[in-house]
Amino acid sequence: MNNILLPLMLLGPSQEMTASWYGEPFHGNVTASGDTFDMYDQTCASPDLPFGTVLLLEHDGRTAVTTVTDRGPFAVDSTGAAIWPLEPHPTRDLDLSFGAMKMLGGVMAGTIDVEVWRLR
């Protein structure tokens, strides 16, 4: 992923969202967009944003730029398995790649609140 180039073109006001992350079990698998998931890239999953949407995320003064390449996060049962038919997670808005979550300093927390701006 390229570094942020200034000036940024923000498309609309920011939103606060809750983000979780995913990594190892999905590394190398094909995403919903058809890309191969690389847990070290700066990507994310959203239940409804179009594939290719670029987001600027901020958490505690740290930033990451991610591209939507997958769908999720999804609601899970008590064992952690996705509920079928798939439904959006009730409390999480984005699922970040491990690399994006690491940039934001949230890996150990598991979920974090992020300020989100749409760049493209």
Task: Give the residue extent of every domain in the chain.
Answer: 15-118
Instruction: Give pLDDT tens digits along the chain (120 positions).
Output: 445 555 567 777 889 999 999 999 999 999 999 999 999 999 999 999 999 999 999 999 999 999 999 999 999 899 988 888 989 999 999 999 999 999 999 999 999 999 999 998
Beta strand spans in the chain (E): 15-22, 43-45, 54-59, 62-70, 94-97, 112-118
Topology (CATH level 3) of domain 15-118 = Barwin-like endoglucanases (2.40.40)
Alpha-carbon separation of residue 103 from 45, 62, 80, 86, 88 (angstroms): 16, 7, 25, 29, 25
The pTM assigned to this predicted structure is 0.88
**Contact by Cβ (8 Å): 28, 36:** yes
